[in-house]
Structure 1
């Protein structure tokens, strides 16, 4: 996965401290009642993305579903792209931490399984399809999607770095590329076929990434 998103219990990310200054709409981290409003709006936005896609996302309808005033939504997020950017930020903040088993195979299999479960989820799978489709034609959505995956890849890269330190992988292995190689087949399967994302697909993706990494396929070249 680029890694996936599976929500943690609670709303820890939404309760982060607000940033001061002239922040871009949708980027300030609120607390208290504002955090609850943000959580409700992002939940409604995610539901609508999963149901109707990016082009079906309407700020007024999001406000209605979240039981929030329209002016609040327009003032805070400004545009649909701004709302989607904040949704992706929240998803990255709330996603589960990486697994640390001490085994490269098990760590990458855990990553593949997390991606598989997310993309197979009745809500999350369509949501990701909608955001990926939107990113092809909207620069701000694309930027937010890239940031989301940068965060997730960085969270899982240490399992590869640890394998290099143990001597399980060649020196110079690009950890981020190994992590991307795990989830890439799962995303390709999601977007290009109607075949189910089963456990066998996750095992193949993780196993192929491990084999390629051990063969030196991801060693950085000058």
Structure 2
């Protein structure tokens, strides 16, 4: 017998979680966070609202959990043979993710809630930490090829790659144009080559 609350792949718990997550995203897209309620989600998912409350406790925690499952997936790591090419592809993949309505709906809520909700703040911090750690290999390869100065800080390079996209998405509201990835990659590759991004 499995412990209470454990998830059997393909089991009822997994199916319930998938249905509730799908219902959450649909509600966020349809009525926004302000209009989304546990009751509406439960009705749309075809489960009892007590099931949702028992598992997640609150709407905020449900959003955080959905964020970990959807936006938390790693962007595939490119290997084009050049630092600029890798950063460009990484940037384009990030922009594509931010332009996906179902991912953006959850991401938007977590970013907003992170201001005052510790669970959301932790989820967002872990998300970016994982992205930075995953992208470090790009910089390490560039250093080995002589494209980036010895001692270049991989974390700082990857942070700088994402900064313009998230600034546009959540601060200035400007369009997320894939051409931005090209300009950003060129500038950061030049800075890394000139030794401006050292640890």
Distance 1:148 1:215 in 2: 29
The structure, 1 or 2, with the larger RCO (C-alpha pairs under 8 Å, 6+ apart) is: 1
| Larger-Rg structure | 2
Task: Give the alignment partner of residue 214 of structure 1, picking from 182, 193, 196.
Answer: 193
Structure 1 residues 157-166 or 93-102, which shifts more?
93-102
Deviation of residue 182 (structure 1)? Answer: 0.7
- Within 5 A, what are the aligned runs for 1:6-25? none
CA contact (8 A) 1:108 1:182 kept: yes
CA RMSD of aligned residues (A): 2.4
Are the aligned partners of 1:53 and 1:127 in contact in 2 as well (CA < 8 Å)? no
| TM-aligned CA distance change 1:32 to 1:125, over 3 Å | closer
The change in CA–CA distance for 1:202 and 1:30 in structure 2 (over 3 A counts) is farther
3-state SS in 2 of match to 1:128: helix
In the alignment, is residue 186 of structure 1 matched against residue 165 of structure 2? yes
Q: CA deviation at 1:178?
A: 0.8
Structure 1 position 47 matched with structure 2 position 31:
no
Query: For the residues of structure 2 that align with 1:32 and 1:110, how far apart are their CA atoms?
Result: 34
Structure 2 spans left out of the alignment, 5+ residues: none
Structure 1 residues 151-193: Cα deviation after superposition (integer angstroms, max 9, x where no partner): 2222222111111122211122111221111111011112233
Q: Number of aligned residue pairs: give it.
A: 197
Q: Cα 1:157–1:30, aligned 2, differ >3 Å: closer, same or farther?
A: farther
Q: 2:63–2:109: 8 Å Cα contact kept in structure 1?
A: no
TM-score normalised by length of structure 1:
0.78
- What stretches of structure 1 of length at least 5 have no aligned partner? 1-17
Q: CA offsets per residue over residues 40-89 of structure 1, 9 Å max, x none?
A: 21222233334444444422222222222222211111122321221122
Contact 2:75 2:90 (C-alpha < 8 Å) held by counterparts? no
